[in-house]
Amino acid sequence: MSDVWEVLLTLLGVLVVFLLFPLVVGQTEHKVMAHMQGRVGPMYAGGFHGWAQLVADGVKFVQKEDVVPAGADRRVFQLAPAVALLPYLVVLVAIPFAPDGGVGEALDAGIFFVLAVMGVGVLGSLMGGWASANKYSLLGGLRTAAQLLAYELPMLLAAASVAMAAGTVSLVGIVDGFEWWWLPWQLVGGVVFFTAGLAELQRPPFDAPVADSEIIFGAYTEYSGLRFALFLLAEYAGIVVLSALTAVLFLGGWHGPYADGLGWLWTLLKTGILAFAVIWLRVTYPRLREDQIQRFAWTTLIPLALAQIALTGIVKVVI
């Protein structure tokens, strides 16, 4: 019976992380944005710095009416938020956070699993964009698809580079093989991976698919209430997953002083810093235009990723 309990406990742990971390990132985003822009934001709910504002927002979302537009494709419209959110929950299972079995499920082809399942989440936005029967939503869906197609390639190439360096496609194996000098060696790949991930999550400055001044809110225009909150949650869960993945692949995950006992803390710290960077970028960079987004992917990121792969190959042959 102990096996069953172990699996259940793992799943429960993943679920708690999945429910908690995106909210923490969301709250951090509110506060960081407020301070970077020299304003305080909501400060009363809960007392200390308005920490309970997020809970209040959640209650507000639940109370709102869940509207499905008359012309919409009802079932696809209602299914879309779940399709957008669930992949990130599944991905969390495979991310190692501590040495010696500190992972939900050690997969043989972990890196492929993670990237494959993350790509599925975009289907949710596409379904929502199409099923809303709204031209702005459709445009948002189109932009989402174009962006995914452009940025999936550099992301995969950068991940392939680090897999080459470690000689394995297992996430656990990659972290185990990490040495400090991988940091400068895989630096370009890391930047490409992180940037492409940002674009895949449609975070600023790559948020043309939800550009509110052009197409209202893209694929999510017609959503309200809990379903809209689920899309928002998917975005924050995406930030957590992307930051954790970048930390594991390029920053050494649990490696650090006293890694045996404090490995999980190092993973958490690196993930947190990257998540902060995601928020920071949102506050500091203006939105790229749609054609700039495409050009950036095809003419900058892909050549960089290919150069990184060449470099990885050369170094790998030499040593």
Partner 1 sequence: MTLAAETHGFLSPTGVEIVFLLTGLVTLGAAVITVTTRQLVHAALWLVVALGGLAVEYLLLTAEFVAWVQVLIYVGSVVVLLLFGLMLTRAPIGRSPDADSGNRWVALGVAGAAAVLLVTLVVDAFRTTWIDLDEPKGTTDLLGASVFRHWVLPFEALSVLLLAALVGAIVLSRKDGGAAEEPVEDPAAADDGGEG
- Interface with partner 1 by CB under 8 A: which range of 131-139, 278-286, 293-301, 302-310? 131-139
Cα separation of 187 and 35, whole Å? 30
Q: Which of 54, 82, 120, 283 binds partner 1 (CB under 8 A)?
A: 120
80 half-sphere exposure, CB direction, 13 A CA radius: 31
Q: What is the dihedral of CA 74, 76, 79, 80, to 10 degrees?
A: -120
Find the helix packing angle between 259-284 and 187-200, rounded to 10°.
Answer: 60
Q: Which of 45, 52, 76, 265 binds partner 1 (CB under 8 A)?
A: 76
- Output the smallest distance, CB 189 to partner 1, in A: 18
Under rule CB under 8 A, residue 109 binds partner 1? yes
Phi and psi angles of residue 79, each rounded to the nearest 5 degrees, phi first: -80, -25
Contacts of partner 1 in 184-213 (CB under 8 A): none
- Output the smallest distance, CB 133 to partner 1, in A: 5
Under rule CB under 8 A, residue 264 binds partner 1? no
Q: Which of 24, 32, 133, 265 binds partner 1 (CB under 8 A)?
A: 133
- 173 three-state secondary structure: helix
Q: What is the dihedral of CA 144, 146, 150, 151, to 10 degrees?
A: 0
Nearer to partner 1, 160 or 259 (CB): 160
Cα separation of 135 and 115, whole Å? 30
Under rule CB under 8 A, residue 122 binds partner 1? yes
- Interface with partner 1 by CB under 8 A: which range of 142-150, 251-259, 275-283, 308-316? 142-150
- Output the smallest distance, CB 63 to partner 1, in A: 29
Find the helix packing angle between 2-36 and 225-250, rounded to 10°.
Answer: 100
What are all long-range contacts of 95-98, with beta carbons under 8 Å and residues at least 24 apart?
95/171, 95/241, 95/244, 95/245, 95/248, 96/171, 96/172, 96/175, 96/248, 96/253, 96/254, 96/267, 97/244, 97/253, 97/254, 97/263, 97/264, 97/267, 97/268, 98/254, 98/263, 98/264, 98/267
- Interface with partner 1 by CB under 8 A: which range of 25-33, 104-112, 271-279, 282-290? 104-112
Where helices occur in 251-301 by DSSP H, the ranges are: 259-284, 290-295
Under rule CB under 8 A, residue 117 binds partner 1? yes
Kind and range of the H or E element at 7?
Answer: helix 2-36
Q: Which of 93, 115, 150, 297 binds partner 1 (CB under 8 A)?
A: 115
Under rule CB under 8 A, residue 148 binds partner 1? yes
Cα separation of 309 and 319, whole Å? 15
- Interface with partner 1 by CB under 8 A: which range of 27-35, 44-52, 146-154, 301-309? 146-154
Under rule CB under 8 A, residue 150 binds partner 1? no
- Output the smallest distance, CB 23 to partner 1, in A: 27
- Interface with partner 1 by CB under 8 A: which range of 128-136, 190-198, 238-246, 310-318? 128-136
Under rule CB under 8 A, residue 57 binds partner 1? no
Under rule CB under 8 A, residue 248 binds partner 1? no
Under rule CB under 8 A, residue 131 binds partner 1? yes
Residues contributing to the site for partner 1 (CB under 8 A): 71-73, 76, 107-109, 112-113, 115-117, 119-120, 122-123, 126-127, 129-131, 133, 138, 141-142, 145-146, 148-149, 152, 156, 168-170
